[in-house]
Amino acid sequence: MNSISVSQENKKILVVDDHPLTREMLTFILEAEGYSVDTDENGVKGLQKVKEDNDYSLIITDLEMPEMGGLEFIGEINRENIGLPVIVLSGNNDVTKALKALEIGAYEYVLKDENIENTTSLAVKRVFEKHELKQKNLDLIQKVEIKNKELEVTNLLLKNAIQNLSESGSAISSEKNLLKLLEMIVGKARELTSADGGTLYILEEDGMLHFKIVQSASMNIFLGGTSGDQITFPPVALEKSNVSAFAAIEKKIINIPDVYQNESFDFSGPKNFDKSTGYKTKSMLVLPMVNRDNKVIGVLQLINSKVSYEGMEEEIVSFTKYHEEISNSFACQAAVCLENVINLEKINAKNIAFKRFVPMEFIGMLGKSEVEEVNLGQTTDSEMAVLFSDIRSFTKLSESMKPNETIKFLNH
């Protein structure tokens, strides 16, 4: 007898045949192979058994039986979506029906002849191999479908992330008021990460991180910016024991699931705040704000990412890898926008200072809009009345000069 290596352990077979001798013979053959065998005499009773017992691994059925024949029996198994493999037993005159049985779902057919012992044993082993391979393929297909759905969700999240990041970036890029921009940076970062709170520090010339914005939605705290409510917290020294300072020094993103379980940093500040206000600081995401020159100009700190499910209260959770990536991109954008607005304010301050010494009306007469556009020695022909005090007899001196000599004198 040929040997096919298939585990027979815990495999239970149902034999359905109206001939007692056939049932007894197949039982003897299969039990000798190590299978557990159950029998019945027609399709009606066989169908009832497989509905009541989920332990069957295979059905062997005759084609010609009273009450319900083999073809009808297979059809009912398919309709009930039982999913068991079937072998049909066929006499020499039943080959056409046997082929029909294969068309509607049977795995194999076995002729009732003198070789039935060998052919049945081999057929059973082949069917189990085929069925196990089919199940593996179905499992693989299911895993692929799950992965495809996961990819669809990931792509949707990525699409939404890009859209949210783009909208947030556009919003802060168009804001030219420094205080409003500071508020907007923290607000948009909180939206992107579902964070309850946020703090924005600016690294100033004294080498310390100064609080500029402090927000907590659940506590209704909105300090700094255009709120008019001053922040009284002292600036943070650049010492690695402080998580925000560490992020600035190392230019690293710090993601902490629970500050009360973390011993790498000194969280006495948040813990004291919690104690005095009843707040509960848990998850924290800290991001350095790096400009175009790869210099840290500030730090963005986000607190307590929240999720909510239908019918349940909000839950504080850790910031995810997705939160790290999208907020880091936003922090880099924010750093550039912040630096641009700061530089713009410096330019505006210089322009105001210039206007004290060079009137804009005079710059306009030269056909220019800004003092930086005026070149040394640039002139224009205009009639005007000038009242000025005589400085070191300049009036008398200028009376003896030609106009071009006077201009040359004034420009040297």
Domains, in order of start, for the chain: 12-139 (3.40.50.2300), 175-345 (3.30.450.40), 358-410 (no CATH)
- Indicate the helix (H) or strand (E) that contains 216: strand 208-216
The confidence score (pLDDT) of residue 97 equals: 81
What does the DSSP 8-state code read for residue 320?
P
Is residue 289 within 8 Å of residue 336, measured between CB atoms?
Answer: no
Confidence (pLDDT) at 357: 67
Q: Whole-model pTM above 0.75?
A: no
CA distances from 127 to 2, 41, 240 (A): 15, 22, 67
pLDDT value at residue 309: 74
Looking at this protein, which amino acid is placed at residue 404? N
Judged by DSSP in three states, 10 sits in coil
Q: Mean pLDDT over residues 378-396, rounded?
A: 62
pLDDT of 312 strictly over 90 = no
- CB–CB of 154/321 below 8 Å? no
Which whole number is the average pLDDT over 137-141? 91
Of 51-55, 151-155, 305-309, 359-363, least confident by mean pLDDT is 359-363
> What does the alpha-carbon distance between residue 241 and residue 247 come to, in Å, rounded to a whole number?
10
Residue 194: helix, strand or coil by DSSP? coil
- Name the pLDDT band for 6 (thresholds 50, 70, 90): very low
Lowest mean pLDDT among 77-81, 157-161, 188-192, 200-204: 157-161
| Residue 225 CB contacts under 8 Å (≥ 6 apart), including other chains | 179, 180, 182, 183, 212, 213
pLDDT band, residue 87 (cuts 50/70/90): very high
The two tokens of residue 407 are: 């201009």
What is the Cα gyration radius of the chain?
43
C-alpha span between 98 and 297 (Å, rounded): 81
Q: What is the pLDDT of residues 19-30, one digit of tens each?
A: 999 999 999 999
* H or E, element range at 123: helix 116-173
More confident residue, 226 or 375: 226
Please tell me the least confidently modeled range out of 141-155, 156-170, 195-209.
156-170
**Which pLDDT score is estimated for 1?**
40
Mean local confidence (pLDDT), 192-218: 95
